[in-house]
Amino acid sequence: MNAPLSSSTVSSENERLSWTQSLKGYWLKQAYRHKNAEKLMYVMFVSGFLLWDQLSLPWTIERWLLLAHMVIGVSLFLWTVGMFWSAHRRLLMRSKKSFLRITGRMTEALLVLCVSSGVYLFFYGVTGNTLSVFIQDVHFYSSLVLTPLVFRHALRWSVLNLKSSRLVSFFANRRGDNT
Ligand code: HEM
Ligand code: HEM
């Protein structure tokens, strides 16, 4: 026969449940917080693009950009985009929007390429051998496709979409008030 549960066992079980539920709730919320992930992606692209050899920026500027690009890349970017991605990708299972599923999958593949090549460059740099030049090319070209793809994927809600920006709706509302 089962022994009756003591009240302290029940309350610790309830506590454990509410803790896992709030963690789950927090996790699910991340799936809809795309703005920070998207903004960081653009920050990484702009700071990385300015490092491109063809632009030949003076080293005094380039060294700060490189430092910022690398430090943000291995900290804030990995944390924010990693968390958003791991929660957001579950939408793949349920979504009926085939365009978003396809562009989402492509984004995922390019993110893996771009981030893994970035982490390689962080640790080993471009030493001039064939492998490091190849990895540099992978990083450059994957980021070149990734950035417009993410913009297109998130188009309706993109931080760069002026129609959905707060400033535009603020002025539109004011105009509405005055008429
Ligand atoms: C974990 C994240 C990342 C790390 C650690 C990282 C690291 C680096 C490093 C060390 C370089 C300099 C390579 C060189 O010496 O030429 C670089 C260049 C660059 N990065 Fe990243 N990166 C990361 C993510 C990204 C992302 C997400 C993008 C864009 C969406 C991006 C775009 C670029 C571009 C365009 C360059 C210039 C490539 C070139 O000169 O050929 N990076 N990155
Ligand atoms: C930083 C990268 C990403 C950003 C900023 C982003 C942003 C967004 C946004 C704003 C939407 C809503 C679009 C709308 O309803 O018009 C969306 C939907 C969607 N995304 Fe992403 N996404 C990213 C990466 C990914 C990845 C890696 C995947 C797949 C592994 C993915 C899969 C999906 C799916 C399946 C939907 C449709 C959800 C539905 O049916 O409502 N996304 N994404």
Each domain of the chain, given as residue ranges in start order, spans: 34-178
Per-residue pLDDT of the chain (179 residues; tens, 9 = 90+): 455 556 667 677 777 778 888 988 888 888 898 999 999 999 999 999 999 999 999 999 999 999 999 999 999 999 999 999 999 999 999 999 999 999 999 999 999 999 999 999 999 999 999 999 999 999 999 999 999 999 999 999 999 987 765 655 665 566 555 44
Ligand 2 pocket, residue 101 CB under 6 Å: yes
Q: What is the model's pTM? A: 0.86
Ligand 2 pocket, residue 157 CB under 6 Å: yes
Q: How far is the CA of 164 from the centre of ligand 1 (A)?
A: 29
Q: Note every long-range contact of 68-72, with CB atoms under 8 Å and residues 24 or more positions apart, other chains counting.
A: 69/44, 70/122, 72/40, 72/43, 72/44, 72/47
Ligand 2 pocket, residue 89 CB under 6 Å: yes
List the structure tokens of 145.
């496709």
pLDDT of residue 54: 96
Q: What is the 3-state secondary structure (H, E, C) of the chain?
A: CCCCCCHHHHHHHHHHHHHHHHHHHHHHHHCCCHHHHHHHHHHHHHHHHCCCHHHCCCHHHHHHHHHHHHHHHHHHHHHHHHHHHHHHCCHHHHCCCHHHHHHHHHHHHHHHHHHHHHHHHHHHCCCCCHHHHHHHHHHHHHHHHHHHHHHHHCHHHCCCCHHHCHHHHHHHHHHHHHC
Please report, for residues 168, 169, 172, the alpha-carbon distance to residue 179 in angstroms, rounded to integers and kept in the order given. Answer: 17, 15, 11
Instruction: Tell me which residue of 120, 36, 135 sits closest to 79, measured CA to CA.
Output: 36
Give, using CA atoms, the residue closest to atom 17 of ligand 1.
48
Q: Work out which ligand 1 atom sits closest to the CA atom of 121.
A: 10
* Residue type for position 3: A
Give, using CA atoms, the residue closest to atom 7 of ligand 2.
154
Counting ligand 2 atoms within 8 A of each CB, the residue from 100, 145, 152, 165 with the most, and so the one to mutate, is 100
Judged by its nearest atom, the ligand closest to the C-alpha of residue 135 is 1
Give, using CA atoms, the residue closest to atom 8 of ligand 1.
118
Counting ligand 1 atoms within 8 A of each CB, the residue from 121, 133, 147 with the most, and so the one to mutate, is 121
List the structure tokens of 136.
């540099």
Give, using CA atoms, the residue closest to atom 43 of ligand 1.
118
Q: Using CA atoms, how far apart are residues 91 and 13, in angstroms rounded to an integer? A: 30
